[in-house]
């Protein structure tokens, strides 16, 4: 073992006596030696925040360092994502991104301050999140067929909540609205955590949201769920029909959440983070919490950084073919 190895084995000193830092390679071998910041681009309590806290709570145990969640809001998650792209690529600043921040925002923001593929290293996919069509409890339509008729007939009187242009809730309902050929008023929030509060309070009419944010409310009877936009029903909500069963097969939508690091983060760091995320996804308690909220837990082959890179590429292409630069 050379002197580098002995030095690292002694506790991974980062700065040598002369104050010069160890090369990135040596720092990576001791990683992590301090707490990690995980940026969540939306308000606390929403799906991105909930998924991130469930998985990083276990990752912290594996890594032996705390992972501190920092909710940074604005512009549909792109404010936080641009900040993460500029962060030091030392493994101590990460982001929980998703289908909106790391795919749909590309066609919606012509001057986006980052590119999901050029400015980030994929770390690990955390969860798939089917999209539900939700409404306030006293919204008049009783089922999806009625919903379609009602929103077409009352488009100038209704509104749809979302978490900002480029967010999952925004692009999912953009897709739904284009299928229905309607353009209702959009009501933006800093996340679908606060948007859900407004839906429960009856201040907004409907929303397309990720299942993890809706299961507790649906089970509590505080909102309506018309359908889930996936081919099969979700085990956490067996009584909610699919959009196909309910007569709207053209609306299919599923989001996903994943961890990304700034471009240039050392491969050894990415590998340690990926291993910790994979271990979390194999933990029974983590799996139960994600499953009970309707998440689709990634299969082994989907959990590699390479698989996430391929997902991001295909999702950018998909949403670029579907969306035009945002208008509302
Ligand atoms: C959230 O966590 O608030 C959501 O991911 C926002 C969104 O993308 O709809």
Classify residue 66: in a domain, yes or no: yes
The confidence score (pLDDT) of residue 323 equals: 84
Q: Are residues 124 and 135 in the same domain?
A: no
Question: What confidence tens digit (pLDDT) does each residue in 272-286 have?
Answer: 999 999 999 999 999
Q: Are residues 82 and 138 both part of a single domain? A: no
**Residue 194 CB–ligand 1 contact under 6 Å:** no
Q: Which residues are within 8 A (CB) of 3 and not within 5 positions of it... i.e. 6 or more apart?
A: none
Nearest ligand 1 atom to alpha carbon 49: 2
For the CA of 99, the closest atom of ligand 1 is 8
Would 314 be classed as within a structural domain?
yes
Which residue's CA is the nearest one to ligand 1's atom 5?
48
Nearest-CA neighbor of 168 among 324, 1, 47? 47
SS3 content of the chain, % helix, strand, coil (to 5): 45, 20, 40
Residue of 168, 171, 172, 229 to test ligand 1 pocket, by largest number of atoms within 8 Å of CB:
168
Of ligand 1's atoms, which has the minimum distance to the CA of residue 162?
Answer: 9
Q: How far is the CA of 324 from the centre of ligand 1 (A)?
A: 20
The whole-angstrom separation of Cα 39 and Cα 96 is 6
SS3 for 93? Answer: strand
Selection from 269, 271, 274, 263 nearest residue 28 by Cα: 269
Domain boundaries, position 264: 3-15+35-128+255-327
For ligand 1, pick from 191, 193, 208 the residue to mutate: most ligand atoms within 8 Å of CB: 191
Q: Given this model, what pLDDT does residue 319 score?
A: 94
Per DSSP, helices labelled H in the chain are 3-9, 24-30, 47-63, 78-86, 105-108, 144-153, 168-180, 192-200, 211-220, 267-281, 284-292, 305-322
What CATH number is associated with residue 97? 3.40.190.150
Domain shared by 152 and 195, yes or no:
yes
How far is ligand 1, taken at its centre, from the CA of residue 168, in Å? 6
Same domain, 7 and 98: yes
| Model pLDDT, residue 28 | 73
205 and 277 assigned to the same domain = no
Same domain, 112 and 7: yes
Instruction: Give the integer Cα–Cα distance in Å for 219 and 215.
Output: 6
Centroid of ligand 1 to alpha carbon of 274 (angstroms): 23
* Ligand 1 contacts CB of residue 49 (under 6 A): yes
CATH number, domain of 217, equals: 3.40.190.10
Using a 6 Å cutoff on CB, does residue 186 contact ligand 1?
Answer: no
For residues 145 and 219, membership in a common domain is answered with: yes
Q: Does 248 reside within a domain?
A: no
Kindly state whether residues 8 and 114 are assigned to the same domain. Answer: yes
Residue 156 Cα, ligand 1 centroid: separation in angstroms?
25
**Ligand 1: distance of its center to the CA of 21 in Å?**
38
Asked if residue 191 has its Cβ within 6 Å of ligand 1, the reply is yes
* Phi and psi, residue 285, nearest 5°: -65, -45
Q: How far is the CA of 169 from the centre of ligand 1 (A)?
A: 6
Residues 96 and 126 sit within 8 Å (Cβ to Cβ): yes
65-94 pLDDT, tens digit per residue, is 999 999 999 999 999 999 999 999 999 999
pLDDT at 29: 78
**pLDDT below 70 — which residues of the chain?**
1-27, 324-328
61 shares its domain with 117? yes
Q: Are residues 134 and 124 in the same domain?
A: no
Ligand 1 atom with the shortest distance to the CA of 170: 9
Q: How many structural domains are present in the chain?
A: 2
203 and 158 together in one domain = yes
Instruction: Decide: 78 in ligand 1 pocket, CB within 6 A.
Output: no
- In this prediction, residue 19 carries a pLDDT of 42
Q: Residue 227: in which H helix or E strand, if any?
A: strand 223-228
Q: How far is the CA of 48 from the centre of ligand 1 (A)?
A: 6
């Amino acid at each position: 073992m050379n002197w580098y190895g002995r030095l690292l084995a002694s506790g991974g000193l980062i700065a040598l006596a002369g104050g010069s830092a160890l090369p990135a390679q040596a720092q990576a071998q001791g990683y992590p030696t301090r707490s990690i910041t995980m940026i969540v681009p939306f308000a606390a309590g929403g799906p991105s925040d909930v998924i991130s806290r469930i998985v990083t709570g276990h990752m912290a145990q594996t890594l032996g360092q705390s992972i501190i969640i920092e909710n940074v809001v604005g512009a549909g998650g792109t404010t936080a994502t641009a900040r993460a792209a500029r962060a030091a690529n030392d493994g101590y600043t990460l982001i929980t991104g998703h289908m909106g921040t790391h795919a749909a925002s590309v066609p919606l923001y012509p001057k986006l301050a980052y590119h999901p593929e050029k400015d980030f290293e994929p770390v690990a996919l955390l969860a798939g999140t089917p999209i539900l069509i939700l409404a306030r409890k006293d919204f008049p339509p009783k089922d999806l067929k009625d919903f379609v008729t009602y929103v077409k007939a009352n488009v100038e009187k209704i509104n749809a909540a979302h978490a900002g242009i480029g967010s999952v809730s925004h692009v999912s309902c953009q897709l739904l609205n284009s299928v229905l050929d309607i353009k209702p008023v959009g009501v933006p929030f800093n996340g679908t955590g606060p948007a859900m509060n407004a839906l429960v309070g009856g201040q907004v009419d409907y929303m397309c949201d990720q299942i993890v944010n809706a299961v507790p409310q649906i089970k509590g009877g505080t909102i309506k769920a018309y359908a889930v936009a996936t081919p099969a029903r979700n085990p956490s909500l067996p009584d909610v029909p699919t959009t196909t069963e309910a007569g709207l097969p053209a609306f299919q939508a599923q989001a996903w959440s994943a961890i990304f690091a700034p471009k240039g983060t050392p491969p050894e760091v990415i590998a340690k983070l990926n291993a910790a995320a994979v271990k979390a996804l194999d933990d029974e308690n983590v799996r139960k919490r994600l499953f009970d909220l309707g998440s689709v837990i990634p299969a082994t082959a989907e959990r590699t950084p390479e698989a996430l890179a391929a997902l991001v590429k295909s999702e950018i292409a998909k949403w670029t073919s579907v969306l035009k630069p945002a208008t509302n």
